[in-house]
Each structure stands twice: as structure tokens, then as C-alpha cells.
Amino acid sequence: MNDLEQRIIRHLNDQVTSIQAPSDLAGRCLRRAEAVRRRRRATAVAGVAAAAAVVVAGVAVLAGLRPGGGPDRHTPPATHPAPTTTRLAPPFGVPDYPDPAPFQPWFRSLPQGELNETFVGLPHGPTFQYQGVTYRRPGPSGSVIPFGVTVQGLLAALLHGKPGVGRDFDTRVILLLPDGTFRTLATGRLGEATGRPGDGPHPGGVARVSADGTRVAYALIPAGSTTEVATVTAQDLRTGQRWTKTSGRYASVTGWSGNDVVVITPGPSSQLWAPDRGSTRTFGRRTSLTPAGPASDRLLSGAWDGYGRCRSVISSANFDTVYQGCDADEPMMISPDGRWVLLGAWKIRDLDTGSVLPFSIQPPGVGPLNELAPGDAWQAVRWDDERHMLFAFQDPLLPRGELGLVRCDVEGRCERASQP
């Protein structure tokens, strides 16, 4: 053993000499274990009910297969299990999502893969858990690619379909709807920089839904184009109205800021495109910008600045930096009205006054949240309204798919939003 190893050993031992386990550690574990058992029992009961529902659904499918009565084009095919949609009680009753357009079984054109996993979604619009879709790349070690699990990507997803000739991929922009069905919004292709033939679907990334859930934006290179110049499209999901703009080579959409689309290109700038007004403003610094809420005039910036990785809140109006945080204090998500920002260190910053409020849903083991995992184990978070955030937890102690929702205000007052 060399000197460095010996000194590491001494150092590690020095670090922990003062650490003692809490006296009630065993009691905490026992209480938590009991809570887990209660929830497992409850889940088992729910599972029986779900099995009954599957039987009913099976009967319905069989009825649909009778001669002359095949599944209509609005019905998901049997390869995609019917979605489990859990509507939560108020106060989550925001206006319903627009009615889905006719279902198109686009994934039948995929190469081999599996489409069968469940995800937790916290999209804007009605809160729900949905039967998501994944795609497993072909091959024994094929990685699973989920759709729609990123919070900011929300319902939009981008699909790299079957490989075409050369770089001419069959690319589709799809929209995952709250009832678990899909809508194909556009087809085209991407530049070679974003995928390889046969890569399969890619989630989020290029297609983004606005924070209020009424619009979607995406960038595609039109089929047949030889210039790699992308067309950026914004589409109103209620009326179907579309706005388009020709952007730079390999342009992509990273989000929305209010009614403006945030577009980045491999060039030296980011852009804010206002489809309604037909105007574009340019951010002079190369950065990736992420969306804020529909009424917000602020953006999150993922720029590298100085030491380490820092993120900023910048004003959409003039691109001035409003706040910059590094490491744990980095900004994570801005409230819909642009006033509050959730920081990585579990703090809330009031951008209007500059004050910082401590925020905590810890510790687990206390009060009504005692069955939750540690604060760092949340699966998804979004602003529920101007002053409340909604967190989805998946307890590591429980089988996959079980989750808890917690709604917290900016002052750290939290309550369970639903029971798993």
C-alpha cells in the first residue's frame, strides 16, 4: 500500500470520527417500514380493481374484433395497453385539454421494439398519471427511451422513425395527450447532427409545448431539402393555426417564454421568436434557454459562466441577467408569472425583491409526508399556479409506478395532493 492510499485511509477515518447514528434510527425505519406495508396492502387492493378493469377492457377489445366491427382509428392498437388515467381532485382542475385529433398508430412503422412502460407525468393542464410509451432499441442491450417524462418537454416528443436513405430520416413530431393517446403533428427530418439511422425515437428535445398547454413548437428540415435549414413551426393546439419561420441550419426549439418560442441554432445566438407578431430578437451569447411560464418575461439560461456550471435567470425583454446561481443555488424552474424561481438548494427566490425563502419538504419521517423519499428523490416538479409547486415522488421503497404527489406553496407549506 503506497503513501497516498495510507493517507486516504487516515483521511476517511478522520472525516467520520464525530458521526453518530441518531438514537431513534431503528424506530424511524420501523415506522417507515410499517407505512410501506400499509401502502403495499392498499396497492394490492387497487390491483384487484385494476385487474377487473382489464377484464372489462379485454371484453371490449374482443367485441371490437367481431366481424365487421374492427377497431376504429380512434382506438389504440392492442400492442399499446390502454392508458390508466387518474384524474385528481380539485384544486387541480384546470381547464380540460383540447380534444385529441384522430389517433394515428404511428408506432406501427417502428422497427422492433417494446412499447409498454408506465411513467409519471406532470404536464400542464390536468394533472394525471399516464400510461406512457417507451421504445427499446433493438438488440440485447437496447436502452429504453421514454417519451414525455421530462418536465419541460411535457407532452411533446420527437420520433426518429425508420431509417431512410442516407441522412433522410423519417422524423415525426408527436403529441402525447392526457388520455395516453398520440397525435402526429408533422413529419420531416433532422440534420445528421441529431441522430443516426435506426436510432429510434427521441423524447422531447426538439418539440416543446407551451407552459399553458395551448401551443406547441418544433423545428424540422422539410423533406427533400438539401440545405439543412430548418423550418420552425408554432401551432395552436386549440385552433390548429400554424405559424412558420425559416431559421438557421439545424435550428431547434428549446422552449417557450410566454408566447415567444425560444430557438437555438449551432450559430452564435439564441432567438426569441414571436409568431403572433412575426418578430425575432436575438440573444448575443451562445446559451441554451429554457422556458418559463406563460405570463413570464423571464428565461432560464444554462450558460457556462466563470467557474463551474452556473445558470441564470435572464429577462426575455432585454436579455439582461436577473439572477445567477452556481452549484446548489442554481435556478431550476421559474413560476408562471416569472416572480419566483425554485433553486437547486431547495430555496425559493423572489425575483421582484431579491429575497430568498428557505424551502423544504424534508425531513421524511415527519408528519403527513413521512412515507416520502428524501427531497432529492422527486421524479418531477412543476409550478401548479403562481404560488404553488407540485412534486411527484416515487418512493424507492415501493415497486415502480407508485408515487405520491405533494403540493407546496412558496413559503414551504406542503400537503399531500393525492394518495397513491
Partner 1 sequence: MDGADDPEAQFCAYVAARGTALLRTSYLLTGEIHLAEDLLQTALTKTYLAWGRIRDKGALDGYVRQIMVNTLTDWWHRRWRRERPTAELPDAVLPDSAAATVERQRLWAQLEALPQRQRAVIVLRYYEDLSEAETARVLDCSVGTVKSQAHRALSTLRARLGDEAASEEVLRDL
Q: Give the whole-angstrom CA distance, residue 220 versus residue 109.
A: 19
29 binds partner 1 (CB under 8 A): yes
Provide the mask over 100-139, with x wherever binding to partner 1 is found by CB under 8 A and - wherever it is not.
----------------------------------------
373 binds partner 1 (CB under 8 A): yes
344 binds partner 1 (CB under 8 A): yes
60 burial level (CB within 10 Å; 0-12, 13-18, 19+): exposed
8 binds partner 1 (CB under 8 A): yes
CB atoms within 10 A of CB 86: 12
Order the strands of the 270-274 sheet from edge to edge.
252-257, 260-264, 270-274, 279-283
36 binds partner 1 (CB under 8 A): yes
- The one among 377, 399, 413, 415 contacting partner 1 by CB under 8 A: 377
- The one among 4, 49, 62, 63 contacting partner 1 by CB under 8 A: 4
Considering only the stretches 81-89, 212-220, 279-287, 323-331, report the one whose residues sit in contact with partner 1 under the rule CB under 8 A: 323-331
- The one among 58, 268, 367, 374 contacting partner 1 by CB under 8 A: 374
Interacting residues with partner 1 between 353 and 372 (CB under 8 A) = 362-365
- The one among 100, 302, 401, 412 contacting partner 1 by CB under 8 A: 302
- The one among 101, 332, 345, 356 contacting partner 1 by CB under 8 A: 332
Residue whose C-alpha is closest to residue 293's, from 224, 203, 215, 212: 212
SS3 assignment, position 127: coil
Nearer to partner 1, 6 or 112 (CB): 6
Q: Give the whole-angstrom CA distance, residue 330 versus residue 20.
A: 31
- The one among 68, 307, 318, 355 contacting partner 1 by CB under 8 A: 307
Greatest Cα pair distance, the chain, in angstroms, is: 81
Beta strands in 237-387 (DSSP E): 242-249, 252-257, 260-264, 270-274, 279-283, 289-290, 298-301, 310-315, 321-326, 331-334, 340-343, 347-350, 356-358, 378-383
Work out how close the CB of 323 gets to partner 1 at its nearest, in angstroms, rounded to a whole number: 17
Interacting residues with partner 1 between 219 and 258 (CB under 8 A) = none
Cα distance between the two ends of the chain:
52
Residue whose C-alpha is closest to residue 212's, from 123, 85, 83, 81: 123
Nearer to partner 1, 51 or 377 (CB): 377
Q: By rule CB under 8 A, what count of residues binds partner 1?
A: 54
For cell 435556478, name the residue. 331
28 binds partner 1 (CB under 8 A): yes
Residue whose C-alpha is closest to residue 92's, from 348, 337, 382: 382
SS3 assignment, position 5: helix
- The one among 20, 141, 353, 419 contacting partner 1 by CB under 8 A: 20
Provide the mask over 37-76, with x wherever binding to partner 1 is found by CB under 8 A and - wherever it is not.
x---------------------------------------
Interacting residues with partner 1 between 142 and 161 (CB under 8 A) = 149-152
Q: Give the whole-angstrom CA distance, residue 267 versus residue 273.
A: 16
| Beta strands 144-146; 134-136: pairing state | antiparallel
Work out how close the CB of 69 gets to partner 1 at its nearest, in angstroms, rounded to a whole number: 42
Phi first, then psi: give them for residue 108, nearest 5 degrees.
-65, -20
Residues that bind partner 1 (CB under 8 A): 3-5, 7-16, 19-22, 25-30, 32-33, 36-37, 149-152, 302, 307-309, 311, 326-327, 330, 332, 344, 362-365, 373-374, 376-380, 396-397
